[in-house]
Amino acid sequence: PRSGIVLGIESSCDDTGVAVVTTSGRVLGESLATQAEIHAAWGGVVPKLAQEAHEAAIDGCVEAALSAAGVTADQLDAVAVTIGPGLGLCLRVGVLKARQLAAAHQLPVVPVHHMEAHALVARLGATRFALDAAAQTAAGAATATHQAAAGASGSTTSASAAGAASLGPAAPAADAAAEPPPAALVEFPFLCLLISGGHNQLLLVEGVGQYTQLGTTLDDALGEAYDKVARLLGLDLMPSGGAALEAFALEGNPRGMPFSVPMQRHANCDFSYAGLKTAVRLAIEEHAPEPSEANRQVRADIAASFQRVAVKHLEERCRRAVQWAQETHPEVRHLVVAGGVASNLFIRSQLTAVAQRAGLELVCPPARLCTDNGVMVAWAGVERLQLGLEEAPPAAVELGEGE
């Protein structure tokens, strides 16, 4: 690598994320345009609207991340981009932009798997947290918020420089410092629980691109279940159904409804959330068919009980995976929890207990690196680039040509 700087682009679903990260794991600048408001009205992500919002936001996001980082595209080493899995219409916006940028500046392209990016961002290590905190103070926590072209259609964009950056919440500096850094770099092999809107997997990660799947969902992913339950309960789906449900559950009694933990007779690491979701739907039909202030308490009890049981299921599966890992791979030290749902604080605290009882350390990226973002793609790009897994610079890319 010449400069050791990689720009990463994420556009697989409803967030346009761009970040500039160094090979030593410093986040120099980043920018994120979220479309939550656009899709909240429809109760889910509408691919065509998402594509349009990505198209409206992408150029501004790339410019904002570069300028926050204080570098030009010519100073980059490579452009990393999410190539899947995700919504095809959305992925191609990011891929096209990456290829245009790479062609214009003769840069290699690093194709990144979305779930790998979620998993690997946990390896942005301890010294890097400290460096970024220092950089942030020095930079005076320069944070700029602007409405990109997409602003008119309801998407919001924010860009932040240097440290604001990295692994803490956007501003202010004090909050970033409050985010506890992991004690050490997460080394391979590690156990990883990926929980997002589309995925629910337990993996043994032995290296970049080397994953053994220990379990996956037989039906819904946990984020999807959170989203559906939030919708059934008539919650405001901002900033996401999952976050809304987590907040609402705080008002309820987690033992208020007798939901049962899924798959208790199956001694494996697979997941299932469809049955629980149906039980929740029936409970809502019985106790709170129309959301109102009058039935707020019973709805909160349903939310809290759903969350308790859904997470108990996660705990049981993780406990079994940890036990297996300790028998077969005693060098495993970390349980990494990643993906959008990993920003849930109740889940973090329950899984911390599971890890601690087994003598493992739980590593959870800060919330803003758990939900989709450009940093995780740039960092996965760094890891792949270091292994020579990039592609040659593309020949000139025609405007409007997709991948």
Burial of 170 (0-12, 13-18, 19+ CB in 10 A): middle
Q: Which of ligand KG4, Zn ion, none binds 365 (CB below 5-8 Å, type-dependent)?
A: none
- Can you name the residues that pair with 10 across neighbouring β-strands? 17
Query: How near is the Cβ of 217 to ligand KG4 at its closest, in Å?
Result: 13
Locate 270 and state its tokens. 């697979």
Query: How near is the Cβ of 370 to Zn ion at its closest, in Å?
Result: 9
Q: Which of ligand KG4, Zn ion, none binds 341 (CB below 5-8 Å, type-dependent)?
A: ligand KG4
At which residue do the structure tokens 């705080």 appear? 250
Burial of 63 (0-12, 13-18, 19+ CB in 10 A): middle
* Interacting positions 150-209 with Zn ion (CB under 5 A): 196
Helix (H) or strand (E) holding 344: none
End-to-end Cα distance, the chain: 26
Half-sphere exposure of 300 (CA within 13 A, CB side): 13
Tell me which of 227, 316, 383, 390 binds ligand KG4, using CB under 6 A: 227
196 binds ligand KG4, rule: CB under 6 A: yes
* Interacting positions 86-125 with Zn ion (CB under 5 A): none
DSSP 105: H
Rounded Cα–Cα distance for residues 190 and 252 (Å): 35
Q: 141 or 229, CB closer to ligand KG4?
A: 229
344 binds ligand KG4, rule: CB under 6 A: yes
Count of residues interacting with Zn ion (CB under 5 A): 2
Binding region for ligand KG4 (CB under 6 A) out of 19-27, 51-59, 242-250, 389-397: 242-250
At which residue do the structure tokens 């720009």 appear? 7
Query: How near is the Cβ of 273 to Zn ion at its closest, in Å?
Result: 17
Q: 107 or 232, CB closer to ligand KG4?
A: 232
Binding region for ligand KG4 (CB under 6 A) out of 40-48, 57-65, 329-337, 339-347: 339-347
Rounded Cα–Cα distance for residues 261 and 256 (Å): 14
14 binds Zn ion, rule: CB under 5 A: no
Establish whether the linkage from the previous residue to 172 is cis, with ω within 30° of 0. yes
Give phi and psi for 186, each to the nearest 5: -75, 115
Radius of gyration of the chain (CA): 21
Q: How far is CA 26 from CA 75, 148, 382, in A?
A: 15, 25, 11
Query: How near is the Cβ of 259 to Zn ion at its closest, in Å?
Result: 27
254 binds ligand KG4, rule: CB under 6 A: no
243 binds ligand KG4, rule: CB under 6 A: yes
Tell me which of 372, 382, 383, 397 binds ligand KG4, using CB under 6 A: 372
Query: How near is the Cβ of 333 to ligand KG4 at its closest, in Å?
Result: 24
CB atoms within 10 A of CB 308: 21
Q: Which of Zn ion, ligand KG4, none binds 25 (CB below 5-8 Å, type-dependent)?
A: none
Three-state secondary structure call for residue 47 = helix
Query: How near is the Cβ of 45 to ligand KG4 at its closest, in Å?
Result: 9
198 binds ligand KG4, rule: CB under 6 A: yes
Binding region for ligand KG4 (CB under 6 A) out of 30-38, 206-214, 238-246, 274-282: 238-246
Give phi and psi for 21, each to the nearest 5: -130, 145
Q: 246 or 316, CB closer to ligand KG4?
A: 246
372 binds Zn ion, rule: CB under 5 A: yes
Count of residues interacting with ligand KG4 (CB under 6 A): 20
Strands 210-216 and 200-207: antiparallel
Output b/e per residue, 344-374; b: 16+ Cβ within 10 A: bebbeebbbebbeebebbbbbbbbbbbbbbb
Binding region for ligand KG4 (CB under 6 A) out of 122-130, 145-153, 235-243, 270-278: 235-243
Locate 226 and state its tokens. 């959170």
- Can you name the residues that pair with 191 across neighbouring β-strands? 204, 335
Tell me which of 94, 215, 262, 339 binds ligand KG4, using CB under 6 A: 339
271 binds ligand KG4, rule: CB under 6 A: no
13 binds ligand KG4, rule: CB under 6 A: yes
Residue ranges binding Zn ion (CB under 5 A)? 196, 372
By the criterion CB under 6 A, which residues form the site for ligand KG4?
Answer: 13, 196-198, 223-224, 226-227, 240-243, 246, 339-341, 343-344, 371-372
